Copies of this chain bind each other. A is one copy, B any other.
């Protein structure tokens, strides 16, 4: 593994507090792999042998039932995934596949758990990381159960706007059908939802979306820090300080 990559993940809150020796031990058995787009890294129900860390590209987490599938999250670097399954040595509840050419670090789950048991600082960091993921999911369920399709889209657009720097024109980071699945609707319905937001100053040109009248759009969307993940997971803020940072000034990741 390249030293530069190691340094990148070393800065993650998950690893930043642990002793150098333990970090080296943890990463010595790790693989840094390149995958083309559309590669399924793991299927629902599979035993989980690695903790995955997305370094480059993007990864979709999805769930399936009865020949239907839905996108649960779309990850951007740098994000860990299937951490909870690794902690519990359980089977995956979600499939994972690359949406584009991606570079992924794979840390053997066995060693991860061993070091979690040996290094108290790391164990606390794991607890905090999983807690952050948990809270992301709580927001996701509330978003899904309390808002209709157009409201979810409007809030998605406002969240993206914040993450992309606040300019009026944003770029959709994924295919629209993937976005539709993430938002819990069909591709056709997403298209209609975009059309319905035209009344609120949303102009769509392919992957470019222009928000011309943010005030009425916000009046419709009613964004709320208790439902919207304006900061991506791992943005680094926890604790009381996190209360004051919404909406955050700088968020580059497109994670869901």
A residues contacting B by CB (< 8 A) are: 44-45, 47, 63-66, 68-70, 72, 83-85, 87-91, 93-94, 116-117, 119-120, 123-124, 126-128, 130-135, 137-142, 144-147, 184, 222, 224, 226-227, 238-240, 242-243
Given A116-B124, A127-B123, check contact A239 B88 (CB 8 Å): yes
Inter-subunit contact A128/B93 (CB<8 Å):
no
Inter-subunit contact B65/A146 (CB<8 Å):
yes
CA distance A127 to B144 in the complex (A): 26
A-B residue pairs in contact (CB < 8 Å), sample of 19: A44-B226, A63-B138, A63-B142, A63-B146, A64-B146, A65-B146, A70-B145, A72-B138, A84-B134, A84-B135, A87-B131, A88-B128, A89-B240, A90-B239, A93-B138, A116-B124, A119-B120, A123-B123, A133-B134
For A119, the chain B residues whose CB sits under 8 A away are 120
Inter-subunit contact B184/A145 (CB<8 Å):
yes
For A65, the chain B residues whose CB sits under 8 A away are 142, 146-147, 222, 224, 226-227
Do most interface residues of chain A lie in helix, strand or loop, or is the interface mixed? Answer: helix
Q: Which of B84, B124, B142, B145 contacts A131 (CB 8 A)?
A: B84
Interface centre among A90, A91, A147, A239 (most CB of B within 10 A): A90
For A89, the chain B residues whose CB sits under 8 A away are 238-240
For A222, the chain B residues whose CB sits under 8 A away are 65-66
CA distance A114 to B165 in the complex (A): 37
Minimal beta-carbon separation of A134 from chain B (angstroms): 4
CA distance A44 to B224 in the complex (A): 11
Inter-subunit contact B138/A90 (CB<8 Å):
no
Minimal beta-carbon separation of A120 from chain B (angstroms): 4
Q: Which of B68, B126, B139 contacts A127 (CB 8 A)?
A: B126
Minimal beta-carbon separation of A168 from chain B (angstroms): 25
Further contacts, 5 of them, CB under 8 A, given A93-B226, A123-B127, A134-B134: A84-B134, A93-B139, A119-B120, A120-B123, A137-B141
CA distance A205 to B183 in the complex (A): 38
For A116, the chain B residues whose CB sits under 8 A away are 124, 127
Minimal beta-carbon separation of A111 from chain B (angstroms): 15
Minimal beta-carbon separation of A184 from chain B (angstroms): 5
